Amino acid sequence: MSATSGMLGARILELADRLAAHSDLPGALSCTYLTPAHRASAKELAQWMQAAGMAVSIDGVGNVVGRYTAAQATNRTVIIGSHYDTVVDAGKYDGRLGILTGLVVIDHLNRTGRRFPFAVELIGFAEEEGLRFSASYIGSTAVAGSFDRGLLARRDRDGVSLAEAISATGFDPADIPKLARARQDLAGYLEVHIEQGPVLLQEGLPLGVVTAIAGNCRYWLTVSGQAGHAGTVPMGFRRDAVAAAADIVLAVEHRCSNVPTLVGTVGRIEVPGGATNVIPGRCELSLDIRAGDDVTRDAAIADVRAEIDAIAQRRGVTVEIKEIQRMGAVACSARVQTLFADAIARTGITPRFLPSGAGHDAVNFGGITDTGMLFVRCGNGGVSHSPREIVTAEDADLGARVLLDVLQHYEE
């Protein structure tokens, strides 16, 4: 590897810059599912994969799939995947780092004429963030065979359903189940991802081996009180939906504090028809609760629900709680964790094992094949989902070298 030292990382960063040129917004990176910028990103990724020696297609839900064939005819396949959609005003590396790391590694294998007893499939998943249809993992669930058909009726803010958006690309949504891989063909799933947190940065380590991916539960809460005139209704007579929502936000923060791996967040709060001189009669808010294990998470959810009931009673409001998503925590394969750890150790770095608080495409493969993740250090205090997200070329390079090493030792 010494001949390529440093070069793979620089190439990854250069490609991330080029991919970020496709955006829904001028002057900021936003790549939302099946927008023109999203389609252009897929096309460019497909061209790069082809140039790196892969047979490439863009599947019916928009995943970019590049296949690097095995040394001999076989269906056995190791998938390397991550996503290319982004949040609004995003960083350039969330998701894309994993695709581009796989890309430079396969390009290197192709140039050096190296093939394995298994095929390597690089997949740029079309949708992970869940922005457009409030549904995460459209791309990876299609490939893993767990796509939820119920999501096809979901509509975006413009009233376009997921089924309509997919049909508009020329693919029949009824055929999504055909995109699933046969389980017996899968030899593993590997994902490289920016850590999106500060742990590796604080410990001065470039890489980490993921032990488990936290499951999350997402809810949409509607608080209904009584609207009224801000000047005429005395405080004691009010049933203020926003004041109740504020109590809920603080209750979530209180319950989720000081428990290892447990986190709770209200990321959206809306006051429909809100005005300065109107007591809010209605308030809607999101709720996201995660933990490294389902028991810890579910206990927190039960307590938060009980607290919401108490707040509703005390304030004379009603709270409707709608579950949007429920994902169980997924443990990474012990064998793949060891492969990553051994490869990290061979670079002279002490392997650090850590859980992922964020969900990743890998969760959808946990139950069906040997699944593992490698975290790459996130700079700038660990900030992600922001244009301030950074990765250094040196760290990206180490990530690529470790992924290459894992593939080389995969079936020993």
Q: What is the CA radius of gyration of the chain?
A: 23
Tally DSSP H helices, then E strands, for the chain: 10, 16
SS3 64: strand
Nearer to Zn ion, 103 or 119 (CB): 103
Nearer to Zn ion, 244 or 358 (CB): 358
Nearest distance from C-beta of residue 170 to Zn ion, angstroms: 27
Nearest distance from C-beta of residue 196 to Zn ion, angstroms: 7
Which burial class, exposed, middle or buried, applies to 19 when counting CB atoms under 10 A from its CB (0-12, 13-18, 19+)? Answer: buried
Which residues from 4-43 bind Zn ion, rule CB under 5 A?
none
Give dist(CA 368, CA 281) in Å, integer. Answer: 47
Nearest distance from C-beta of residue 83 to Zn ion, angstroms: 6
Nearest distance from C-beta of residue 159 to Zn ion, angstroms: 27
By rule CB under 5 A, what string of x and - marks binding of each residue 88-107 to Zn ion?
------xx------------
Nearest distance from C-beta of residue 361 to Zn ion, angstroms: 8
Nearer to Zn ion, 95 or 357 (CB): 95
Give dist(CA 311, CA 317) in Å, integer. Answer: 8
Instruction: Decide: is 85 part of the binding site for Zn ion (CB under 5 A).
Output: no
Strand ranges (E), 48-185: 55-58, 64-68, 77-83, 119-125
For the record, the structure tokens of 146 come out as 């767990």
Residue whose pair of structure tokens reads 């490698």 in the numeric block: 374
CB–CB of 248/223 below 8 Å? yes
Nearer to Zn ion, 131 or 162 (CB): 131
Nearer to Zn ion, 95 or 351 (CB): 95
Give dist(CA 263, CA 253) in Å, integer. Answer: 8
Of all residues in the shown chain, the one whose CB is closest to Zn ion is: 95
CA angle 30, 25, 13 (to 5 degrees): 50
- DSSP character string of 220-267: EEEEE-B-EETTTS-GGG-B-HHHHHHHHHHHHHHHHTTSTT-EEE--
Identify the bridge partners of residue 318 per DSSP, sorted by sequence position.
224
Give dist(CA 194, CA 93) in Å, integer. Answer: 7
Give dist(CA 387, CA 385) in Å, integer. Answer: 7
Nearer to Zn ion, 163 or 358 (CB): 358
Nearer to Zn ion, 94 or 107 (CB): 94
- Run of H or E including 376: strand 371-376
Give dist(CA 12, CA 301) in Å, integer. Answer: 40
Nearer to Zn ion, 22 or 239 (CB): 22
CB–CB of 223/405 below 8 Å? no
For the record, the structure tokens of 45 come out as 């990724």
Nearer to Zn ion, 225 or 366 (CB): 366
Binding residues for Zn ion, how many (CB under 5 A)?
2
Nearest distance from C-beta of residue 212 to Zn ion, angstroms: 16
Nearer to Zn ion, 94 or 397 (CB): 94
Nearest in space to 22 (alpha carbons), one of 12, 32, 13: 32
Nearest in space to 97 (alpha carbons), one of 364, 373, 349, 410: 373
User: Residues in the site for Zn ion, rule: CB under 5 A?
Assistant: 94-95
